Amino acid sequence: MKSPMLRRIRRICAAFPEVAEVPGPDVLNFRVRGRGFAVYWSHWFSDPRPAVWCKAPPGAQEEMIIADPERFFVPAYNGRHGWIGIRLEPPPDDWDELTAMLEVAYRLTAPKRLLGP
């Protein structure tokens, strides 16, 4: 799993305090103190496109999917907990938006002591 997109996502997540990467086949989990906040998939069984799944605030999943159903989706397993899936093909036009989504996911997961003021 060595793609420019993955390198960029790793850089974004590595900027957050105490983030650990947990690799698996075709997947990379991002965790803070053992709790997952984002997952990168090089492909998912029925969808060959790379994607990121991340934790989202209540109601965000539905709003985002309604706004852009080609880009956003309900991911397997974590979708029932409000996580949002983001397809990465075609690559995002706005990396700031994806960065903000990953930061929100991190902030929803990390202990308050790590969040600062």
What pLDDT, in 10s, does the model give residues 44-81?
777 788 999 999 999 999 999 999 999 999 998 899 99
Torsion of CA 70, 76, 80, 84, to 10 degrees: -40
Question: Strand, helix or coil at 89?
Answer: coil
Give the span between the Cα atoms of 5 and 7, in whole angstroms.
5
Position 104, amino acid: V
Is the model more confident about 35 or about 115? 35
Q: Rounded to two decimals, what is the model's pTM?
A: 0.92
Q: Mind spelling out the 3-state secondary structure of 9-48?
A: HHHHHHCCCCEEEEEECCEEEEEECCEEEEEEECCECCEC
Class of domain 4-115: alpha beta
The C-alpha atoms of residue 88 and residue 91 are separated, in whole angstroms, by: 5
